[in-house]
Structure 1
Amino acid sequence: MTQNTEPNSGRRRIWSRYYSTFIDVPAGPDWRERTRAAMGAVGGIALTGLLCAIMVGSGLSHPLLVAPMGASAVLLFAVPASPLAQPWAIIGGNTICALVGITILHIAPVTWLAAPLAVGGAIIAMSLMRCLHPPGGAVALATALGGAGGASALYSFAFTHVGLNSLLLVIVGLLFHRYSGHSYPHRVPAAPSSHATADVVPLDRVGVDAADVDEAVAAYGEVLDVSTQDLHALFKDAELRASGRRHGDLTAGDIMSRDIISINGAAGVSEAAALLYERGLLSLPVIDSAGRVEGVITPLDLGREGALAHHIASDPLLAGPSTPVAALIRPLSEGQRHEILVVDEALRLRGMVTQTDLIAALAAAA
């Protein structure tokens, strides 16, 4: 009996893997975010239609909405980070494709010929204009087929209907994503150089860099629905996570200095300066009478206006004793701060991790 069931089980696994390629569940946001995207699309389409009705009227020759706007809304609200969902892709792609469809309609008024030429021409035009947008193919097809009661045969249709729909939809999307906290138009914030120089941050000087990602994408040979900047950011984050896995259970509490020289926030600035210079310190934590952290003073902070230590203190980077060492790598390598103060739940100072401590810990782990 066992010999008969094992081949069947193997075949089921093979078919399961085969069919899973058709129903792939991509990694992405949770249902709360998906519901928010759906509500954004509802508002986007409703407001776009309403504004178009006010601006150009409605009717067979003046449709409120061009049907492919539904597909544009899916991209705009559900995957706002996609290069295919950026403002120029939506506005430029849809409008240019409408112009292509209208041109094909005039050149080849036969449906069976106009339809494929419009879609193919739309792909070429969008690629040349760097505004690839999948719904644009539907726009080109619809105009080439002479929809909207014949209005799509007029070149003005590309601007007064398709272009206007696209513009209004993008404006609603901009407002929606600003309210919801998304970055739109999508951009990957570059880590600034701490000294305003041309050098990239230390983490970007080793491992995978932007040029490696560009070359890998070019060699891959497929169009990916993600920018190389996003891929680079994902790879760097994955490197840090892999580093955390390699370093196991090592925490901030394991590598921190415990005998910390600090100063009360009510002390004078002159006393803070004396401590820094006499003890050769780069960082001086500022605490209140209960031992809670109020800030940190560095030699650069001594030039600030103020009579008391807490007046000139900078905002510190904080971590808990159980914070993984890997989580300290990025903040301490970006050059903004040279130390992380380790505090308990009540923000009382328990220790400090400096760049030197981190280097020593990573070297020992290696």
Structure 2
Amino acid sequence: MPETIGSPRLLGRLRGFRVFRPILAGATLRERLVACLGALAGITLTGLICGWFFGEGPHIPLIVAPMGASAVLLFAVPASPLAQPWPVIGGNTISAFMGVLAAHLIADPVVAIGVGVSLAIAAMSLTRSLHPPGGAAALTALIGGPAVTSAGYLFPLFPVCINSVILVALGIAFHKISRRNYPHGPVAVPANTHATADLPPPIRVGFKPEDVDAALVALDETLDIDRHDLDRLLRQVEFQALMRTQGDLSCREVMSRDVITIRSGESVERARDLLLAHNVRTLPVVDSGNRLVGTVGLRELALRQAGGLAEAMSEASTAAPDDPAVGLVPNLTDGRTHAIVVTAPDRSVLGVITQTDLLATLARSASAKAFTLQAASAA
């Protein structure tokens, strides 16, 4: 279940958020500490690995300064489009090449540094590898001193490209260990489970992707957030607002308590008879202690190839009795889930909330609020 506005866990996180006062949206003190640890491991190991493989010497640096800036993005804001593997590797390498090119073609160093950085921005933009430390990589190629100048066109390959590849590889490993999503990919758009051309119910109403695009055009600013992440954020804002305004009813108040269940050892025919006799789409399957082990519906029974009830049932969607009923909206509108089973901590079945139950609850709540507003206006 998603965290709700009133949940103790989320309130605790919000309090910590306010105390830390991060400059980036969504950042927490824990996230920043993880970023520090990641940068420590990433930069140190990058230097050590380059030292082991290429040896030490004054002829060329083993690690270049732009890697420090890349580490900030890679470990502190891993969801940023500017911190993904291709921007880190491609942006740094391409920019270093632009800097070397400017140094060889332009004699005046002041003009060369300006041209080098501007070429780096243009090249990164065209190759979809925009990475802010790339500007520093271009400058390093221009003002890095005799060791960098003597390396010539090899400088973008080593150390810049090699440093970037090692840093990204270490970043992927670190984020996997710390259970963070990197490389950051867009969340798949919900699919219509009925194989029709209609949009899925969760995104059929409200704003549409073209509305987000129009808003970005109207703002006329470049935001450091992926377009799909922005869409997902706005939909989560909509859901949190719904929770705040409609989250006063708990599952306990909405659920049906006289639940039709079936024991896991009973026959498939018995399950089909119960579904049809009571006109329900989901049947909780329980063990001998009335503890939930799964659910079954007519579709699951029809798709069953062989075996008994255990082979036909699917994993149940559950909620606690004190959870806000409106928090079930994402589950009950996903096109697959028709009922949520309300369970006690020991998994014993307490009740069921269907799509019809939730729809009636939201309609009643909306009517009550509209009546209250009308009464207030009349007064």
Relative to the length of structure 1, the TM-score reads 0.88
Aligned-residue offset at 1:248 = 3.8
Contact 1:102–1:154 (8 Å) recurs in 2 = yes
Equivalent position to 1:99, from 97, 114, 124: 97
Q: Distance in 1 between matches of 2:127 and 2:73?
A: 19
2:329 is the alignment partner of 1:329: yes
Q: Distance in 1 between matches of 2:146 and 2:205?
A: 56
Say if 1:196 and 1:59 are closer, same or farther in 2 by CA, change over 3 A: farther
Query: Counterpart in 1 of 2:273?
Result: 274
Q: Distance in 1 between matches of 2:49 and 2:115?
A: 32
Say if 1:265 and 1:131 are closer, same or farther in 2 by CA, change over 3 A: same
Aligned-residue offset at 1:49 = 1.6
Say if 1:72 and 1:197 are closer, same or farther in 2 by CA, change over 3 A: farther
Deviating more after overlay: 169-178 vs 187-196: 187-196
Provide, for residues 44-78 of structure 1, a one-character-per-residue CA deviation record: whole Å limited to 9, x for no partner.
11221222223333322221101110100110011
Provide, for residues 151-190 of structure 1, a one-character-per-residue CA deviation record: whole Å limited to 9, x for no partner.
4651111112111111111111111112222221101322
Say if 1:121 and 1:291 are closer, same or farther in 2 by CA, change over 3 A: same
2:249 is the alignment partner of 1:250: yes
Q: Distance in 2 between matches of 1:300 and 1:131?
A: 47
Aligned-residue offset at 1:222 = 1.5
Q: Distance in 1 between matches of 2:109 and 2:32?
A: 38
Contact 2:64–2:160 (8 Å) recurs in 1 = yes
Deviating more after overlay: 67-76 vs 123-132: 123-132
What residue ranges of structure 1 are gaps of 5+ in the alignment? Answer: 1-22
Aligned-residue offset at 1:233 = 0.3
Aligned-residue offset at 1:192 = 3.8
Aligned-residue offset at 1:196 = 5.2
| Residues 112-127 of structure 1 mapped to structure 2, 5 A cutoff | 112-127=110-125
Contact 2:326–2:358 (8 Å) recurs in 1 = no
Q: Distance in 2 between matches of 1:275 and 1:242?
A: 39
3-state DSSP class of the match of 2:206? coil
Say if 1:122 and 1:234 are closer, same or farther in 2 by CA, change over 3 A: same
Query: Counterpart in 1 of 2:128?
Result: 130
Equivalent position to 2:157, from 151, 156, 159: 159
Aligned-residue offset at 1:36 = 1.7
Query: Counterpart in 1 of 2:27?
Result: 29
3-state DSSP class of the match of 1:155? helix
Query: Counterpart in 1 of 2:343?
Result: 343
Q: Distance in 2 between matches of 1:208 and 1:237?
A: 12
Q: Distance in 1 between matches of 2:148 and 2:279?
A: 81
Q: Give % identity.
A: 44
Query: Counterpart in 2 of 1:13?
Result: none
2:224 is the alignment partner of 1:225: yes
Say if 1:199 and 1:161 are closer, same or farther in 2 by CA, change over 3 A: farther
Provide, for residues 242-271 of structure 1, a one-character-per-residue CA deviation record: whole Å limited to 9, x for no partner.
111121411222222122111112212221
Say if 1:54 and 1:200 are closer, same or farther in 2 by CA, change over 3 A: farther
Provide, for residues 256-294 of structure 1, a one-character-per-residue CA deviation record: whole Å limited to 9, x for no partner.
212211111221222112212233221111112222111
3-state DSSP class of the match of 2:153? coil
Say if 1:289 and 1:152 are closer, same or farther in 2 by CA, change over 3 A: farther
Provide, for residues 125-163 of structure 1, a one-character-per-residue CA deviation record: whole Å limited to 9, x for no partner.
211211111101111111112436244651111112111
Whichever residue aligns with residue 256 of structure 1, its letter is M
Contact 2:142–2:149 (8 Å) recurs in 1 = no
2:86 is the alignment partner of 1:80: no
Q: Distance in 1 between matches of 2:165 and 2:134?
A: 14
Deviating more after overlay: 81-90 vs 324-333: 324-333
Deviating more after overlay: 254-263 vs 199-208: 199-208
Aligned-residue offset at 1:195 = 4.0
Say if 1:51 and 1:193 are closer, same or farther in 2 by CA, change over 3 A: farther
Query: Counterpart in 2 of 1:14?
Result: none
RMSD (CA atoms): 1.9
Provide, for residues 65-95 of structure 1, a one-character-per-residue CA deviation record: whole Å limited to 9, x for no partner.
0111010011001110001101111011101
